[in-house]
């Protein structure tokens, strides 16, 4: 069975600080996808990134960056120069290839960015 662990339940930072959200996953499969989603107070999950298990290249998108390390089964997410609008719950998720959109989610990290 698959498992995704987000050990950080809640993180509070001051605006403009950098923050890293940790994600560790477990799977015996060799091919899979990893995801990050953001859930603002309105409730809908917003897709941030999908990463294929064969692609360990780190990715940067604006203030967001992702560090995928297969050797440690981690897929960490860093927000640079955080802003109040970044406040939300962030979920890491895993899907096996051929999984038909069946994602296994972590428990989420509540990020609070204060002025």
Partner 1 sequence: KAGVTQTPRYLIKTRGQQVTLSCSPISGHRSVSWYQQTPGQGLQFLFEYFSETQRNKGNFPGRFSGRQFSNSRSEMNVSTLELGDSALYLCASSLGLAEWNTGELFFGEGSRLTVL
Residue with tokens 């990050």: 36
Binding mask 32-71 for partner 1 (x = CB under 8 A): -x---x----xxxxxx--x---------------------
104 is a site residue for partner 1 (CB under 8 A): yes
Q: Give ∠ CA 13-51-93 in degrees, rounded to 5.
A: 60
Size of the site for partner 1 (CB under 8 A): 24
95 is a site residue for partner 1 (CB under 8 A): yes
The first and second tokens of residue 55, run together, are 């692609």
Nearest distance from C-beta of residue 43 to partner 1, angstroms: 5
List C-alpha distances in Å: 67 to 19, 20, 34, 36, 73.
Answer: 13, 10, 11, 12, 11
- Contact residues: partner 1, CB under 8 A: 33, 37, 42-47, 50, 91, 93, 95, 97-108
């Amino acid at each position: 069975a698959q498992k995704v662990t987000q050990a950080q339940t809640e993180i509070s930072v001051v605006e403009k600080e950098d923050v890293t959200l940790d994600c560790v996953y477990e799977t015996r499969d060799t091919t899979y996808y990893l995801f990050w989603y953001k859930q603002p107070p309105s409730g809908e999950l917003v897709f941030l990134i999908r990463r294929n298990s064969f692609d360990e290249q780190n990715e940067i998108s604006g203030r967001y960056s992702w560090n995928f390390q297969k050797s440690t089964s981690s897929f960490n997410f860093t927000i640079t120069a955080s802003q109040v609008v970044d406040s939300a719950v962030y979920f890491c998720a895993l899907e096996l290839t051929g999984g038909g959109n069946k994602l296994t989610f972590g428990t989420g990290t509540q990020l609070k960015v204060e002025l």
